[in-house]
Structure 1
Amino acid sequence: MSNPASKGKAGISWPIQEGTSDPIARFFQPGSKLSWHWNWSKHWKGPLLPHTSPDLQIHAEFIPMIWSPDLLYDGNDLQPGCKYLLGFNEPDHGDASVAAQRTPEAAAQAWIKLSSLRTEPDQQLISPAVAGSVGWLKNFFTLIPRETMPDYLAVHIYTTTFEDFVAKMEMYHDTFRLPIFLTEFAMQSFDPNVPGPKNQQQVHDFMGQTTKWLDETYWVIRYAWFGTVRDPYHLHGVHPFNRLMDEQGEITPLGWQYINGGHE
């Protein structure tokens, strides 16, 4: 198997609620420039995705996540052989459909336990990704022991302009001085006063601009576009123009753009 990291920084996010990892294998067919995937959970092949074909092979790096402190000891194992471990998902967010809200203090106590779950001697930690509260994240960093400090910062960016995207990314890097895993981004704002994309071409252009910048920015280690779902519920309000896969499991034109490098 080729080294997935040699292909590039881009990866795929996939909701475990789909029950199977089979559809995402299509994103890693020969010639794909994508290198990794994650699914907000501990493994891609196991009881959390029970309908995955037993013989499914995905020639890409998988990065497991501990979605919330409640799942630290849920009886499910981390996918073996993983180089990285992602921390909690948007613990500053009050929407229970996408996050399990915790105070920085509670998250810090759980983080100490999370750090002990590492299964490989060189496995590196990636911080929790906040929905938007930089203050929450600053506080969290002051509360965790030095020996549990994450090696990388996980970031989510939802905006509708390239300029704001770059500004937000640079703010996170300047504030925390860590290399970044951008684990969610799309052309979408959750500010009710900011309209979504007007047409599909706008999203194609936004992807082209952002992926080029991400590939050229040395402190960005990995990135994953948000929009690989079949069930529209799992878009969680992100505009369907951002879809990489349709409801029938077919790759969209935007998905093919992403597979082919995003901006080439």
Structure 2
Amino acid sequence: MHFVQTFKSVASLVAGLALVSPTLAVPVETTQELSQRASSGAKRILLWPWINTNEVENNIAPALKATASTLADSGHFKLVANWETWHPDEVPKSLAFSPQLATRDHFSGERWNQLMDVLSWQKDAIVQSLNEPDLAGVSAADAANLWSQLVNLRKSHGVKLVTPACTSNPASKDWLSDFMGRVGGDSKPDYLGVHFYTTSTNSADQEIEYAKNYITEQYNAYKIPVFISEISSTSRDPAAAKKFIEDMSNWMDQQDFVFGYGFTGWSRKPADEFSSPAAQLLNESGGLTDLGKWLAGV
């Protein structure tokens, strides 16, 4: 339904995916500078899907490279993430990277090795865990077993850890409660992963109220900073999508318990039928839409 799922299905159709194995370059900022940027007042997370990297490397959408530089240099983003464990080459390393072990397969093999490569040059990284495990059929018990591997990584590399990010479906609360009951003490997460998507039919005002209440309730349940790794409007009404994105951004910027938040839509086309064209942050050429410009402050 969301980026990681859609793009994984696209991957089976795109022969060029095998070409996406970025060479790790020397970072242009020191570890201290990266850490300072990540702890600055900016809370926005640039969700830069791996398909953008594929399109840059295969010269499908060259404009994406210039857009990536504009976004990284805007000063409005604290992190970039791509649902992967490798850094997207076209995004300057002046923007700290938050790798994600999005599926069980990422906890071993090539994806794990890529994560270790990232940690060799980016210290104090924020590592995200499973993406919507409640939809992927991963039990809370299995997720907790995988989490122990990340806890060891925190001890050895000083990273900070984000819980698996569930959907905002009612059943996901039970999944998260089960998981959190298994990871106390030295295994306690640093951040709480949260997703929120609107319905396509409710008014923007209704969805804004729902989103604020849901995010606040999640924080109050566990009292650790919230890392909103996916949020967006699915309304097909441009005015409603704009209001949701702008009002929620302004609200999240003001909440001390919100560590960061990332709107989806940083791709040339909607990820799937669930995603709304009205909430896209890039146009079909790879440039910024008006909403994208607003989020980037450019």
Q: TM-score, normalising length from structure 1?
A: 0.81
> C-alpha separation between the residues in 2 aligned to 1:59 and 1:254?
23
> C-alpha separation between the residues in 2 aligned to 1:7 and 1:147?
28
Deviation at 1:124, TM superposition (A): 1.1
Deviation at 1:235, TM superposition (A): 4.5
Residue 15 of structure 1 pairs with residue 49 of structure 2: yes
Q: Which residue of 2 aligns with 1:106?
A: 142
> C-alpha separation between the residues in 2 aligned to 1:120 and 1:218?
29
> C-alpha separation between the residues in 2 aligned to 1:83 and 1:109?
21
Q: Which residue of 2 aligns with 1:152?
A: 191
Equivalent of 1:187 in 233, 257, 272? 233
> C-alpha separation between the residues in 2 aligned to 1:57 and 1:224?
18
Alignment of structure 1 residues 195-214 onto 2, 5 Å: 196-198=235-237, 200-214=238-252
Partner of 1:125, secondary structure, is strand
Partner of 1:221, secondary structure, is strand
Deviation at 1:236, TM superposition (A): 5.8
Change (3 A) 1:7 1:144: closer
Alignment of structure 1 residues 102-181 onto 2, 5 Å: 102-118=138-154, 121-132=157-168, 133-144=172-183, 146-159=185-198, 160=204, 161-181=207-227
Q: Which residue of 1 aligns with 2:259?
A: 221
> C-alpha separation between the residues in 1 aligned to 2:236 and 2:253?
23
Greater helix fraction, Structure 1 or Structure 2: 2
Mean CA deviation greater in 212-221 or 18-27 = 18-27
Output the amino acid matched with 1:11.
I
Output the amino acid matched with 1:84.
I
> C-alpha separation between the residues in 1 aligned to 2:142 and 2:157?
26
Q: Which residue of 2 aligns with 1:255?
A: 292
Partner of 1:61, secondary structure, is coil
Determine if contact 1:109/1:144 at 8 Å carries over to the other structure: no
Change (3 A) 1:181 1:115: same
Determine if contact 1:229/1:245 at 8 Å carries over to the other structure: yes
Deviation string 1:205-237 (CA, Å, 9 cap, x unpaired) is 2222111111110000111111111243x2462
Residue 73 of structure 1 pairs with residue 103 of structure 2: no
Deviation at 1:143, TM superposition (A): 2.1
> C-alpha separation between the residues in 1 aligned to 2:41 and 2:272?
27
| Identical positions, percent | 24
Deviation at 1:66, TM superposition (A): 0.5
Output the amino acid matched with 1:4.
R
Change (3 A) 1:252 1:128: same
Q: TM-score, normalising length from structure 2?
A: 0.73
Determine if contact 2:269/2:277 at 8 Å carries over to the other structure: no
Q: Which residue of 1 aligns with 2:280?
A: 243
Q: Which residue of 2 aligns with 1:41?
A: 84
Determine if contact 1:89/1:128 at 8 Å carries over to the other structure: yes
Change (3 A) 1:236 1:8: farther
Q: Which residue of 2 aligns with 1:193?
A: none
How many residue pairs end up in the alignment?
A: 237
Determine if contact 2:183/2:189 at 8 Å carries over to the other structure: no
Partner of 1:36, secondary structure, is strand
Determine if contact 2:72/2:94 at 8 Å carries over to the other structure: yes
5+ residue gaps, structure 1: 46-51, 94-99, 189-195
Residue 89 of structure 1 pairs with residue 131 of structure 2: yes
RMSD between superposed Cα atoms in Å: 2.2
Determine if contact 1:28/1:59 at 8 Å carries over to the other structure: yes
Deviation string 1:156-190 (CA, Å, 9 cap, x unpaired) is 011252111111111101112111011111112xx
